[in-house]
Amino acid sequence: MKNKLRIERSKLQITQADLAAAIGVSRQSIHAIESGKYIPSTLLAIKLARYFVCKVEDLFELEEND
């Protein structure tokens, strides 16, 4: 699954730690999502979308092999 989390985060000029604190997860979780090593739960994806004031589909995109 592709994601645009790093791009959206850089637009707001916030760190992984800042985002993690705002969402209630660890910085390592944000890093794992951004690097594609972890696919977030539905609840976490919704929290991230709300934080960035966008749709989940704007942050995450299914790839053909998903």
Q: What is the pLDDT of residues 25-34, one digit of tens each?
A: 999 999 999 9
Q: What is the pLDDT of residues 8-31, one digit of tens each?
A: 999 999 999 999 999 999 999 999
Residue 66 has pLDDT above 80, yes or no: no
For the chain, what percent of residues have pLDDT higher than 90?
Answer: 91
Task: Give the sign of the dihedral formed by CA 59, CA 9, CA 19, CA 22.
Answer: negative
Instruction: Give CA–CA dist 49/60, Å, rounded.
Output: 9
Q: Map out the domains of the chain as residue ranges.
A: 2-55
In CATH terms, the superfamily for domain 2-55 is lambda repressor-like DNA-binding domains (1.10.260.40)
* pTM exceeds cut of 0.75: yes
Instruction: Give CA–CA dist 8/6, Å, rounded.
Output: 6
* DSSP annotation string for the chain: -EE-HHHHHHHTT--HHHHHHHHTS-HHHHHHHHTTS-PPPHHHHHHHHHHTTS-HHHHEE--TT-
